[in-house]
């Protein structure tokens, strides 16, 4: 039986992504190794778990070849004020793939 679904994001800078998701309210729930530079960290927000994994560890430990090009992953975070939160994220250095816009017959605001 499957359980505890999560999504993994590969990164060349694990802690940079960990700090980013922590700033959105995610809480760290797991890291390995426990001491030193982590190669995998898991963060959770409202039951949703994100794993941030080192590209180098994925290659060395699992024989994977993560492709960091393109847009292979999308993570949805709901907001009460899309425009405000978009402005905060981009001001903090997040790259914008799309500015806020009306979506689904003006019932949702998306970025």
Token pair 């500015």 in the structure block, residue? 99
Q: For residue 26, what pLDDT is reported?
A: 97
Tell the CATH topology of 1-64. Answer: 3.30.720
Q: Which residues pair with 14 in a beta bridge?
A: none
How wide is the angle at C-alpha 22 spanned by C-alphas 110 and 38, nearest 5°?
Answer: 125
Answer whether the bond into residue 92 is a cis peptide, omega within 30°. no
Domain with CATH 3.30.720.120 in the chain: 1-64
- Tens of pLDDT, residue by residue, the chain (111 residues): 557 788 889 999 999 999 999 999 999 999 988 899 999 999 999 999 999 989 998 888 878 788 777 655 667 677 888 899 999 989 988 888 778 877 765 556 665
């Amino acid at each position: 039986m499957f359980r505890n679904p999560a999504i993994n994001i590969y990164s060349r800078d694990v802690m940079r992504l960990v700090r980013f998701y922590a700033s959105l309210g995610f809480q760290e729930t797991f890291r390995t190794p426990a001491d030193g530079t982590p190669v995998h960290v898991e963060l959770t927000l409202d039951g949703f778990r994100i794993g941030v994994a080192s590209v180098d560890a994925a290659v060395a430990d699992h024989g994977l070849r993560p492709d960091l090009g393109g847009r292979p992953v999308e993570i949805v975070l709901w907001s009460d004020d899309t425009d405000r939160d978009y402005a905060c994220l981009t001001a903090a250095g997040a790259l914008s793939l799309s500015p806020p816009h009306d979506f689904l017959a003006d019932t949702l605001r998306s970025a």
